[in-house]
Amino acid sequence: MAILRSLRSGLDFLYVASGVLAALCLIAILVLVVVQMLARWTGEVFPGAPDYAGYAMAAASFLAFANALNRGSHIRVSLLLNTVPKSVRRVLEVWCFGIGAAVMWYFVWYAGRFVYWSWKFNDISQGQDKTALWIPQTAMLVGAVILAIALTDHLINIILKSDHRITRDLVDQSHGE
């Protein structure tokens, strides 16, 4: 049981850490935009700033997915799930998390191949920054792997314990409704 507790705390840490990294990427976007504005006001040029902001946005999006899933921020059709009996609800949730995990692992497989071939062919961006594209693609791949792990984690929890681990904060719920 100690192994399972350490695995659980490790996964929870991974999900929170990916959310923190996503927040840092958003801060990087803010800094890039401000620096680019200051450069324009002073007559300087900051080549590649829009490209770097785009890379940070892709990284922030993918890194935030798993943390958002665990906090209940992804869109779920709770109206249907709350009206069906518990046994039907369990089957629907197993089906949904199963399909989600399968699709995400499929995405991870091909995203990994995409990153590998970008690295192998030394693919660079078309903008002024000439960044090796495997670098920002790796951040996207890491976020996709963490989301696939989270979906698989929830699927296993539903199969073994008949309940997922998605938590909803009432404050967050009230803003979305």
Q: What is the pLDDT of residues 113-140, one digit of tens each?
A: 999 999 999 888 887 778 888 988 999 9
Rounded average pLDDT over 151-162: 90
Question: pLDDT value at position 133?
Answer: 87
Task: Please report whether residue 99 resides in a domain.
Answer: yes
Question: How many structural domains are present in the chain?
Answer: 1
Of the candidate ranges 6-20, 48-62, 104-118, 156-170, the one whose mean pLDDT is the lowest = 156-170
Task: Please report whether residue 51 resides in a domain.
Answer: yes
Task: Please report whether residue 172 resides in a domain.
Answer: no
Secondary structure, 3-state, 32-100: HHHHHHHHHHCCCCCCCHHHHHHHHHHHHHHHHHHHHHHCCCCCCCHHHHHHCCHHHHHHHHHHHHHHH
> Could you list the residue range(s) of the whole structural domain that residue 68 is in?
2-165
Task: Please report whether residue 176 resides in a domain.
Answer: no
The pTM of the full predicted model, rounded to 2 decimals, is 0.85
| Per-residue pLDDT at 68 exceeds 80 | yes
Question: pLDDT value at position 174?
Answer: 52
Q: How far apart are CA 64 and CA 141, in angstroms?
A: 12
Task: Please report whether residue 40 resides in a domain.
Answer: yes
Rounded average pLDDT over 67-77: 77
